[in-house]
A and B are shown apart, each in its own frame.
Chain A
Amino acid sequence: MGLNDLSIEKLRDLLKKKEISVMDIVRDIEAGIAQDDKHELPLNAYINFDINRIKKEAGDLIGNSGKIENTLLKGVPIAIKDLINVIHTPTTCGSNILKNYVSPYDATAITLLKKNGGVPSGKLNMDEFAMGSSNENSYFGAVRNPHDRSKIPGGSSGGPASAVAGNLAVAALGTDTGGSIRQPASMCGVFGIKPTYGRVSRYGLVAYASSFDQIGPITKTVMDGALLLEAVSGYDPKDSTSANVETPVFSDYVGKSIGDLTIGIPDEYFGEGLDDEVRTIVEQGISTLKEAGTGVKRIKLSYTKYAIATYYIIATAEASSNLARFDGIRYGTRYVKTEDLETLYKENRSIGFGDEVKRRILLGTFTLSSGYYDAYYLKAQKARTLIREDFTQAFDEVDIIVTPVSPIPAWDLGQMVDDPLQMYLSDIYTVPVNLAGLPAASVNCGKTSGGLPVGLQLIANHFNESDIFRTASVVEGKVG
Chain B
Amino acid sequence: MNYETIIGLEIHVQLNTRSKTFCSCSTRYGERPNSHTCPVCLGLPGALPVLNEEVLRKGVTAGIALGCDIAENSVFAWKNYFYPDLPKAYQISQFEFPLNKNGYVLIEDENGREKKIDLTRAHLEEDAGKLIHDEVPKGPSKVDYNRCGVPLLEIVTEPDIRTPEEAYRFLSAVKEILQYTGVSECNMEKGELRVDVNISIRQEGEERFGVKQEIKNMNSFANVKRALEYEIKRQTKILRSGGVLSQETRLFNTNKNATVSMRAKEEAHDYRYFPDPDLVPVVIKSDFIDEIRQKLPELPEARRARFIARYGLTAYDSEILCSSYRIANYFEEACENFSNPKKIANWILSEVMRVLKEEKIEIDQCKVTPQMLRELFDLMEGGTISGKIAKEVFDNMVSTGKSAALIVEEKGLRQVSDRGEIDIVVNDVLIENEKVVSDYRAGKKSAFGYLVGQVMKKTEGKANPKLVNEMLKEKIEK
> Using a CB–CB distance below 8 Å, which chain A residues touch chain B?
83-85, 91, 93, 98, 101, 103-105, 107, 202-207, 209-211, 237-241, 317-318, 320-321, 324-327, 329-331, 341, 345, 365, 368-370, 373, 377
Contacts and interface: CB of A to CB of B under 8 A. Distances in A.
B461 to A, nearest CB: 66
B328 to A, nearest CB: 40
Interface string B335-368: 0000000000000000000000000000000000
- B interface: dominant SS: loop
B387 interface: no
B97 interface: no
Contact of B46 (A107, A324, A370): A107
Nearest to A213: B277
A238 B278 CA distance: 11
Given A241-B280, A324-B82, A325-B87, A317 B46 contact: no
Contact of A241 (B51, B87, B272, B278): B278
5 contacts: A85-B46, A103-B45, A239-B50, A330-B143, A368-B272
Interface stretch (B36-44, B112-120, B161-169, B294-302): B36-44
A210 B278 contact: yes
B88 interface: yes
B274 interface: yes
B45 A91 contact: yes
Nearest to A366: B272
A376 B44 CA distance: 29
Interface string B70-93: 000000001010101001111000
A211 B277 contact: yes
B270 interface: yes
Nearest to B23: A238
B424 interface: no
B136 interface: no
A447 B78 CA distance: 46
Contacts of A206: 45-46
B84 A341 contact: yes
B279 interface: yes
A365 B274 CA distance: 11
A450 B209 CA distance: 72
Q: Name the residue in A206, A321, A365 with the highest tally of chain B Cβ atoms < 10 Å from its Cβ.
A: A321
Contact of B45 (A85, A318, A368): A85
B49 interface: yes
B48 interface: yes
Contacts of A241: 277-278, 280
Given A241-B280, A327-B89, A345-B82, A373 B274 contact: yes
Nearest to A101: B45
Contacts of A369: 270, 272
A182 B278 CA distance: 24
Given A325-B88, A370-B272, 20 more contacts: A83-B46, A85-B45, A103-B44, A105-B47, A203-B46, A203-B48, A207-B278, A210-B278, A239-B48, A240-B49, A240-B50, A241-B280, A320-B272, A321-B89, A321-B90, A321-B274, A325-B43, A325-B45, A330-B87, A341-B84
B89 A104 contact: no
A203 B143 CA distance: 25
Contacts of B82: 324, 327, 345
Contacts of A365: 272
Contacts of A321: 78, 80, 89-90, 272, 274
A237 B50 contact: yes
A318 B274 CA distance: 9
A329 B84 contact: yes
B47 A204 contact: yes
Nearest to B40: A238
A81 to B, nearest CB: 12
Contacts of B42: 330
Nearest to B278: A210
A239 B22 CA distance: 11
User: 9 tightest A-B contacts by CB?
Assistant: A324-B89, A210-B277, A368-B272, A211-B277, A206-B45, A204-B46, A206-B46, A370-B270, A85-B46
Nearest to A318: B277
A280 to B, nearest CB: 39
A85 B441 CA distance: 100
Contacts of B90: 321, 324
B353 to A, nearest CB: 47
Interface in B14-44: 39, 42-44
Interface in B42-72: 42-51
A237 B24 CA distance: 12
Nearest to A346: B82
B278 A324 contact: no
A240 B78 contact: no
Given A325-B88, A330-B87, A238 B274 contact: no
